[in-house]
Amino acid sequence: MTAAVVVTAPAKINLVLGVGPVRADGFHALATVYQAIGLFDQVTVTPAEDVTVTVEADPRLTVAGVPTDESNIAVRAARLLADHHGLEHGVAISLHKGIPVAGGMAGGSADGAATLLACDRLWNLRTRREELLELAGRLGSDVPFALLGCTAIGSGRGEVVTPLMTRGEYWWVVLESVVGLSTPAVYREFDVMHEVSPARPPEIPDELISALRRYDVAAVGMHLSNDLQQAALRLRPELGRALEQGRLESAHGAILSGSGPSCLFLCEGRAHALQVAGGLRALELGHVSFAPGPVPGARIVAKEL
Ligand code: C5P
pLDDT tops 70 at residue 1: no
141 touches ligand 1 (CB under 6 Å): yes
Task: Give the confidence band of 46 by pLDDT, cuts at 50, 70, 90.
Answer: very high
27 touches ligand 1 (CB under 6 Å): yes
Give the active site residue among 41, 120, 142, 227: 142
Distances (CA, A) of 24 to 92, 199, 218, 228: 37, 15, 38, 20
12 touches ligand 1 (CB under 6 Å): no
- Looking from the CA of residue 183, the nearest atom of ligand 1 is 8
Query: Which residue's C-alpha comes closest to atom 7 of ligand 1?
Result: 184
Prior bond of 296 cis (ω within 30°): no
Instruction: Please report the pLDDT score of residue 65 as a whole number.
Output: 86
Please give the Cα distance from 45 to 96 (Å, whole number): 12
Give the distance (Å) from ligand 1 centre to CA of residue 27. Answer: 6
Give 48-89 as a 3 state SS string.
ECCEEEEEEECCCCCCCCCCCCCCCHHHHHHHHHHHHCCCCC
Active site residue 12: yes
Active site residue 303: no
Give the distance (Å) from ligand 1 centre to CA of residue 281. Answer: 32
Radius of gyration of the chain (CA): 19
pLDDT tops 80 at residue 120: yes
What's the first-to-final CA gap in the chain, in angstroms?
8
Burial class (CB within 10 angstroms; exposed 0-12, middle 13-18, buried 19+) of 198? exposed
Query: Which residue's C-alpha comes closest to atom 12 of ligand 1?
Result: 184
Strand partners, 92: 46, 52
Chain segment 200-238, per-residue pLDDT in tens? 999 999 999 999 999 999 999 999 999 999 999 999 999
Task: Give the confidence band of 125 by pLDDT, cuts at 50, 70, 90.
Answer: very high
184 touches ligand 1 (CB under 6 Å): yes
- Looking from the CA of residue 108, the nearest atom of ligand 1 is 4
Give the active site residue among 12, 41, 97, 227: 12
Prior bond of 261 cis (ω within 30°): yes
Distances (CA, A) of 142 to 11, 74, 146, 190, 284: 10, 14, 7, 19, 30
Instruction: Please report the pLDDT score of residue 246 as a whole number.
Output: 94
76 touches ligand 1 (CB under 6 Å): no
Strand partners, 38: none
